Structure 1
């Protein structure tokens, strides 16, 4: 029986084949944004403070529509004004109701580094990302073998795109070439139970080189969790649903940072 991830990858493969037939690579390479310099995604995540990648996401397979009042331009401006260090844009259309057009609109609206968050399995998607204005792409280790991950990372780098390489489980670290990868994300969601534990990222961070930019992803809801993650190895966090469900996402981001600045949490206090 296939998992939701299997279904997403299969649908992505079909969709990429259709788009490639409709829009050749040469057309993407001729797009105005394709040749523009990318913004420094990695540099935006390095520094003394905990960086925040704020996400624009309309829906998910498990939650359905997360935000019905979905004005991409307004959301981008809110994140920009709240000081997000980078912005992630969901572009997968079938399961997350995303679009590459959203990415281009965000690029036209703000000057922050942008991450294309999608299920990247084909070099053609890297060309799409570049043509739409992305500065970085997500590469998910659980859907790529070591060779495929290495080749996509290399192809992205040659296009000027940074790569956020994401793992769900400790065992997936074996797929990563640590001489190549510079930004590692750890997803706190268990793909089998769909439960979330922010301590999972901390556990994985302890087994990777400190030279990497380390990003904690999924299930981050409080400033105390931000402070805890930063104290235990995170250089950045990616926050999506918590912001998308807030009436004013920019204000929610400011509040999370203010709470983090005044927090010294212990693991047992994170959900209290």
Structure 2
């Protein structure tokens, strides 16, 4: 099994356990369940930087990235630094995140929040809404077209936006649905963890203009964003670059300033 297969197998076990003890009605009674969501599409459409900054403590490829800064510090720093949206990794086993991170982030910012996790069940979509997310991530590599349809339609019924992540043209073609809002190209091969920005460039022309284009992973220079903008990308998901800094806010301000030089 490659790392992605391992993650999905453990995620399915984790969700099954949660479903056995937490009733959906309990999630639906959350104070945040009735909250009006904030649109990432709107924020990206009106942003000069397009940066979606990520809160990520560790990863299978990089081990520990940042365990010292609090969620509140990082999220407020991202907002002050000029982010258009914030991604919160909620997977614990492989990335050291949690739903607590999402709810603390929600209490710390009004920016749109993406719940980034390996979504395999409708339960997780309801959970995302209950813990304050505005956007959910679906990964085409691990879902069938029917699963993408069902999960995205449920998300839309809850007023959540949907970011679909693809890695190649085959995944893109099987996944195009009207219930999606944003399409992200992951520049990191989830099976080998190698990174190459050419994945975004090659797929850009195949993504219909109805969707906001996001480039994910491996962006570590302002020149890369300026280059990707020429291919029609409006959003840029960046985690490790800012998280590995002792002061993510200043790092982001400096990065955005360099984009404008």
Give TM-score scaled by structure 1 length.
0.93
In structure 2, the CA distance between the partners of 1:252 and 1:35, relative to structure 1 (3 Å rule), is same
Unaligned runs of 5+ in 2: none
Q: Is the 8 A contact 1:90 1:116 kept in 2?
A: yes
Q: Give distance in 2, aligned partners of 1:192 and 1:119.
A: 14
Q: Give distance in 1, aligned partners of 2:134 and 2:246.
A: 28
Q: Give distance in 2, aligned partners of 1:194 and 1:13.
A: 22
Q: Give distance in 2, aligned partners of 1:177 and 1:205.
A: 14
How far did 1:84 drift? 0.8
Q: Give distance in 1, aligned partners of 2:134 and 2:110.
A: 11
Name whichever of 23-32 and 192-201 sits farther off: 192-201
Q: In structure 1, what is the equivalent of residue 80 of structure 2?
A: 81
Q: Give distance in 2, aligned partners of 1:176 and 1:44.
A: 24
Unaligned runs of 5+ in 1: 263-272
Q: In structure 1, what is the equivalent of residue 245 of structure 2?
A: 246
Q: Report 1:105-254 matches (<5 A).
A: 105-254=104-253
SS of the residue 1:219 aligns to: coil
Q: In structure 1, what is the equivalent of residue 19 of structure 2?
A: 20
SS of the residue 1:96 aligns to: coil
Q: Is the 8 A contact 1:50 1:234 kept in 2?
A: no
How far did 1:92 drift? 0.4
Q: Give distance in 2, aligned partners of 1:192 and 1:108.
A: 35
SS of the residue 2:93 aligns to: helix
How far did 1:21 drift? 1.6
For the aligned residues, what is the CA RMSD? 1.2
4+ residue segments displaced more than 4 Å? none
How far did 1:177 drift? 2.5
Q: Give distance in 2, aligned partners of 1:214 and 1:176.
A: 14
User: What is the aligned residue count?
Assistant: 261
Q: Is the 8 A contact 1:218 1:240 kept in 2?
A: yes
SS of the residue 1:210 aligns to: coil
Q: Is the 8 A contact 2:58 2:66 kept in 1?
A: yes
Q: Give distance in 1, aligned partners of 2:206 and 2:69.
A: 38
